[in-house]
Amino acid sequence: MILVYGPGSDPSIQHLVAALQAAAARYQLLDMDDLDQAALHIEVGPQGLHGVLTVDGQQIALDAIRAIYVYPQLPAYVQSSRSRLALHQQLLAWLDMVPGVVVNRPAALQANACKPWQAQRIGEAGFLVPPMLVTSDEAEAYAFLQTHGRAVFESASGVHTTVSAQDGGWLAHMQHQAPLPSQFQAYVPGVDVRVHVIGQQVFAAKARNGTIGSRQAYGSEAFVQAVATSLPITVESQCAAMSASMGLHVSGIDLRLCPDGEYVCFEVNSAPTYRDLEQQSGLRLTAALAQLLMGL
């Protein structure tokens, strides 16, 4: 049995469910829209973890669930309901304990929570990482920008902006969010490549123009077109090994192919979306995800 946990109205969830149906897989959708109608009962004893998940009036033994997909974002209507949020938190605790494939376990999502720590892990995986500064000191930030010319500035809101020492916008952002630290990463020219690791499969798409995902420059309205591409075998292997080392069955990795042919890695997204990139590039990401959940 495969459990899909997410809002049934979301297109990516609908597409995954359709892929599982097409493959004649046994699955159950736990719709975040209907959490009020669900319940989770867990018992821990000498024989391990047991319990029952009630969905749509049907009781499912937890032992029967072999793989789980978890929608990466929590809708506001779940957060605003005490009963829904309590069940959601109970589910998250169970997901960290249950055996089998969980895409992705809540504990593994922390791989993306601390950027400097993640940058260290990326370097350990063999990727080049642009110089980075995390600071709330304006003088330190200015010196970093003077040294590197341009940098990608990330504010507390998660917005990425390409800035230079001569720009005044980054300083205003820093002052606005003080005393919280800001992150600066040296700008690297090149072509953006988004890599999706799904199990042992590696898929890559490159940007025809602009940047992919959250690294889009602040205020830019350029439409990004992504097309499927291939990676050197060594880079593919690095991506798969790095994702696995972070405890992730599925990840989205932001690379940039530099003019000299080297790849630098900016970050590993532990809760990537895939539907938009799939539609643009033609990569069969949903089918690969369904195969992973089915154990194929």
Domain ranges of the chain: 2-103, 109-127+189-282, 132-186
**Per-residue model confidence (pLDDT) at position 40:** 96
Q: Which of 17-31, 47-61, 64-78 has the highest mean pLDDT?
A: 17-31
Strand intervals (E) in 123-273: 132-135, 150-154, 160-164, 182-186, 191-198, 201-207, 226-229, 250-257, 263-269
Q: Which CATH architecture has domain 2-103?
A: 3-Layer(aba) Sandwich (3.40)
Tell me whether the CATH fold assigned to 2-103 matches the one assigned to 132-186.
no
Considering only residues 24 and 165, tell me which one the structure prediction assigns the higher pLDDT.
24
- Supply the pTM of this predicted model: 0.87
Cis peptide bond N-terminal to 209, omega within 30: no
- Is pLDDT above 50 for 159? yes
Q: From its phi and psi, is residue 253 left (phi > 0), alpha (psi between -120 and 50) or beta? A: beta
- Alpha helix segments (H runs only) across the chain: 11-22, 76-79, 82-95, 115-124, 138-148, 169-177, 233-245, 275-281, 285-294
Give, in order, the Cα–Cα distances in Å from 122 to each of 27, 114, 231.
Answer: 35, 12, 17
For 229, phi then psi, to 5°, come to -145, 170
Rounded to whole angstroms, the Cα distance separating 150 from 166 reads 9
With pLDDT > 90 as the criterion, what percentage of the chain qualifies?
Answer: 57
Rounded to whole angstroms, the Cα distance separating 117 from 9 reads 35
The stretch 222-229 carries a mean pLDDT of 74
Give, in order, the Cα–Cα distances in Å from 263 to each of 118, 120, 231, 239, 252.
Answer: 17, 16, 10, 11, 15
* Segment 82-106, tens digit of pLDDT: 899 999 999 999 999 998 999 999 9
- Is pLDDT above 60 for 162? yes
- Are the beta carbons of 295 and 66 closer than 8 angstroms? yes
* Segment 125-146, tens digit of pLDDT: 999 999 999 888 888 988 998 8
Rounded to 10 deg, the angle between the 285-294 and 11-22 helix axes is 60
Give, in order, the Cα–Cα distances in Å from 274 to each of 183, 195, 214, 223, 265.
Answer: 26, 10, 13, 17, 19
- Are the beta carbons of 80 and 219 closer than 8 angstroms? no
Its CATH class, for the domain covering 109-127+189-282, is alpha beta
Q: Which CATH architecture has domain 132-186?
A: 2-Layer Sandwich (3.30)
Judged by DSSP in three states, 169 sits in helix
Structure tokens at 130: 């642009």
Rounded to whole angstroms, the Cα distance separating 28 from 123 reads 39
**Per-residue model confidence (pLDDT) at position 46:** 83
